[in-house]
Amino acid sequence: MSFLTFLKDNLRWVFGGFLLTFFSSYGQTFFIALSSGHVRAEFNLSHGDFGSLYMMATLASALTLPRLGRIVDEMSVARTILIVAPLLALAAASMSRVSHLWILVLTLYALRLFGQGMMTHISMTAMGRWFSAERGRALSIATIGHQVGEAVFPLIFVAVVATVGWRYTWLMAAVTIILALPVLWLLMHSERQPRSTDAAERRPVVRHWTRGEVLRDPLFYFTLMGVLAPGFIGTTIFFHQVYLVELRGWSMQTFASSFAVMSLMTLICALGSGGLIDRYSAIRLLPGYLIPLALACFSLALFEQQWTVFVFMALLGVSYGFSSTLLGAVWPEIYGVHHLGAIRSVIVATMVFATALGPGLTGYLIDIGVSYPVQIGVMGAYCLVACVVMLHISRRVIARQRLLS
């Protein structure tokens, strides 16, 4: 099936998935950080104070996700959206009115839980469950909502804040979610069923594991070794980007401009990886997707020239693009789709933990004198070790599935 034919036949569902990840931006770090200066000024918080509150809210949302995320298995996607989207809108509205510190923490918790957590979780679970042979394409289209949000929301936010202030900007964000809700419901209320014309029978037979069975499977934890790497490494390096720029003597403006390279490569590779996954399967591609990330870390650790940052961003974009699609497809291939919501909720919670703890751990190591370039080099070495582990996992999973055939 050609890409255009696929879009024509499935536009309503993949566009719905795209909109879910797009509006998850209101709970993503990059969007919340746009208000950090205003929030710190109004509450008289230092960078460390606000960072600690944000980490506390993020970790709390991670603890909640495994229990809340199961609702995608227990009710329809459309009904889940009717619960989650208004709660995200309420959190955004709360941000526009927040006046007490404890309300700020609760608001950040809600933004992280319903935005970054649940909106993305619903989208990825729906695409994983509703598509089989074309799962990679569906996920690749849905996941670029993240990249589009990162590209357009900062520009819109800055422009609107200059006109009406940061509080009314958050209120307008809440309004856009409410306005989008009927569209999301219309797109997603009729759930897609994988069809025989999808050639789903070419996929290996997969047993539908429960979450309890997955948590008792040793392969699950080894697979997490690779899954957690992109988020942990990317978040950690970006969190300490000012320190890195000062350490290398680079220009902050040049470093900021390199993000465009990463975004472009992420978009290209996210779309391109969908077809590769549908052709070869996510399990077979799993061992190789961390190689660009390892090379990105080594380039940043070993070279001090300013051009290095563009090499790093390009390689990071390749890894980000593949991981954004691959990690949505690999879990249903390994564990089936009947309990996918409950399984993914544990995975998403673990990833949130990793991204929350990474900057703090690295900052502690910097404080006690451990070289930051050496730390980045160790991250690259970790990726290579994880590639070897993923190769073993891939072979084990394929062998396990053959026994079911």
Residue 23 structure tokens: 């509006």
Pair 130, 238 in one domain: no
Q: How far apart are CA 344 and CA 48, in angstroms?
A: 31
Listed residues 127, 159, 191: the one ending a domain: 191
Pair 208, 357 in one domain: yes
Number of domains in the chain: 2
175-226: per-residue pLDDT in tens? 999 999 999 999 998 888 765 445 444 455 567 888 899 999 998 999 888 8
Confidence check: pLDDT of 404 > 70: no
Pair 36, 143 in one domain: yes
Q: How far apart are CA 388 and CA 34, in angstroms?
A: 39
Pair 211, 293 in one domain: yes
- Please check whether residue 252 lies inside any domain of the structure: yes
CATH no. for residue 318? 1.20.1250.20
Pair 48, 130 in one domain: yes
385-401: per-residue pLDDT in tens? 999 999 998 898 888 87
Pair 139, 229 in one domain: no
What is the pTM assigned to this prediction? Answer: 0.78
Pair 227, 144 in one domain: no
Pair 132, 242 in one domain: no
Neighbours of 33 (CB within 10 A): 13
- Please check whether residue 246 lies inside any domain of the structure: yes
Find, among 75, 99, 266, the residue nearest to 167 by Cα.
99
Share of the chain above pLDDT 70, in %: 95
Tell me, what's the pLDDT at 200? 45
- Please check whether residue 56 lies inside any domain of the structure: yes
243-293: per-residue pLDDT in tens? 888 888 888 778 777 877 888 888 888 888 878 887 888 888 888 889 999
Residue 194 structure tokens: 């994988």
Find, among 27, 58, 54, the residue nearest to 43 by Cα.
54
- Please check whether residue 57 lies inside any domain of the structure: yes
Average pLDDT over the chain, rounded to whole? 86
Pair 276, 395 in one domain: yes
Pair 240, 170 in one domain: no
Listed residues 132, 162, 191: the one ending a domain: 191
Share of the chain above pLDDT 90, in %: 31
Pair 46, 69 in one domain: yes
- Please check whether residue 196 lies inside any domain of the structure: no
CA atoms within 13 A on the CB side of 257: 8
- Please check whether residue 53 lies inside any domain of the structure: yes
Listed residues 161, 191, 221: the one ending a domain: 191
Pair 241, 176 in one domain: no
**Which residue type is seen at 211?**
R
Tell me, what's the pLDDT at 206? 65
Would you give the end-to-end CA distance of the chain in angstroms?
A: 26
Tell me, what's the pLDDT at 397? 86
Its domain, for residue 249, covers 201-405
60-103: per-residue pLDDT in tens? 988 898 889 889 888 899 999 999 999 999 999 999 999 899 99
